[in-house]
Amino acid sequence: MSDKNPEKGEVSRRDFLGLAAIGTAVLSALGVLAGVLRIFKPDVHFEESKKFKIGKPEQFPVGTVKKFDDKKLFVFSDEDGFYAITAVCQHLGCIVYKTDWGFQCPCHGSKYDQMGNVIGGPAPRGLPWFKIEQLVDGSLVVDASKEVPKGTKYIYV
Amino acid sequence: MYSRFYLSVLLISGLVLITFLVFATYRELNPEWKKYQLEYRDLLIKNAPNEAARKKAKSIKIEHQQIYIKPLKKVDRCMNCHRGVDDPLMKDAKVPHKLHSGDYLKKHPVSKFGCTLCHYGQGRATNKKDAHGKGRDTHWDYPLIPFKYIQSSCAKCHDYLFLKDNGGEMVVEGERLFREKGCRGCHKLNGVGGDLGKPLDIIGSQPIAYFPMKYVVGERNTYNWLKQHFLDPRKIVPGSEMRVFLSEKEADLLTTYTLTLRAEEMPRQFRAIRYTTPVPKDGESLYKMYCVACHGNGKISAYDEILKRTIPAIMNPAFLKIADDKNLERIIKEGRKGTPMTSWKRTAAGLRDEEIRNIIKFITKDRPDERPEPFDYKRFVTDTKHGKELFNVRCALCHGKDGKGGKDHLGLNLRNPAVQKFVDPEFLAMTIRDGRKGTPMPAFGKTGVGLSDQDIADLVAYIRSFSDKGKK
In the predicted model, is pLDDT for residue B66 greater than 50?
Answer: yes
Q: Is residue B26 part of a domain?
A: no
Q: Is residue A45 part of a domain?
A: no
- Taking an 8 Å cut-off on Cβ atoms, the answer to whether B75 and A35 are in contact is no
- Test the A interface: residue of B2, B6, B11 with most A CBs within 10 Å: B11
- My answer on whether A73 and A109 are in the same domain is yes
Q: Is residue B17 part of a domain?
A: no
C-beta of residue A31 within 8 angstroms of C-beta of residue B18: yes
- My answer on whether A57 and A126 are in the same domain is yes
CATH code for position B421:
1.10.760.10
C-beta of residue B401 within 8 angstroms of C-beta of residue B414: no
Residues B228-259 as b/e (b if ≥16 CB within 10 A, e otherwise) read bbbbbbeebbeebbbbbebeeebbbbbbbbbb
Q: In the predicted model, what is the mean pLDDT of chain B?
A: 88
* Each residue's pLDDT tens digit, A54-66: 888 888 888 888 8
Q: Which amino acid is at B86?
A: D
Q: Which amino acid is at B472?
A: K
In the predicted model, is pLDDT for residue A37 greater than 50?
Answer: yes
Strands (E), B330-398: none
Domain coverage including residue A128: 51-148
- Taking an 8 Å cut-off on Cβ atoms, the answer to whether A25 and B14 are in contact is yes
- My answer on whether B346 and B265 are in the same domain is no
Question: What pLDDT was estimated at residue B1?
Answer: 52
- My answer on whether B117 and B169 are in the same domain is no
CATH code for position A122:
2.102.10.10
pLDDT band at B214 (very low <50, low <70, confident <90, very high): very high
Give the pLDDT mean for B12-28: 92
- What's the domain count of chain A? 2
* Lowest mean per-residue pLDDT among B187-201, B210-224, B228-242, B322-336: B322-336
d(CA B158, CA B273): 5
Could you tell me the pTM of the whole model?
0.81
Alpha helices for chain A (secondary structure H): 13-39
- Taking an 8 Å cut-off on Cβ atoms, the answer to whether A21 and B14 are in contact is yes
- My answer on whether A28 and A98 are in the same domain is no
Q: Of residues A7 and B32, which shows the higher confidence score? A: B32
- My answer on whether A105 and A127 are in the same domain is yes
- My answer on whether A28 and A80 are in the same domain is no
A22 min Cα distance to partner chain B (Å): 7
Q: Is residue A29 part of a domain?
A: yes
- My answer on whether B322 and B397 are in the same domain is no
Q: Is residue B3 part of a domain?
A: no
Domain boundary among B144, B176, B193: B144
Q: Positive or negative, the Cα torsion across B408, B410, B411, B412?
A: positive
Q: Are strands A111-113 and B74-76 parallel, antiparallel or unpaired?
A: unpaired
- Test the B interface: residue of A14, A38, A137, A156 with most B CBs within 10 Å: A137
pLDDT band at A2 (very low <50, low <70, confident <90, very high): very low
In the predicted model, is pLDDT for residue B298 greater than 60?
Answer: yes
Q: Positive or negative, the Cα torsion across B444, B446, B448, B452?
A: positive
Q: In this predicted complex, what is the ipTM?
A: 0.73
- Taking an 8 Å cut-off on Cβ atoms, the answer to whether B14 and A24 are in contact is yes
Whether the bond between B31 and the residue before it is cis, its omega within 30 degrees of 0, is no
Q: Is residue B13 part of a domain?
A: no
d(CA B103, CA B146): 19
In the predicted model, is pLDDT for residue B22 greater than 90?
Answer: yes
Q: Positive or negative, the Cα torsion across B371, B377, B380, B383?
A: positive
Q: Are strands B302-304 and A81-86 parallel, antiparallel or unpaired?
A: unpaired
C-beta of residue B99 within 8 angstroms of C-beta of residue B82: no
Domain coverage including residue B335: 284-366
C-beta of residue B429 within 8 angstroms of C-beta of residue B375: yes
- My answer on whether B44 and B92 are in the same domain is yes
Q: Is residue A153 part of a domain?
A: no
In the predicted model, is pLDDT for residue A1 greater than 50?
Answer: no
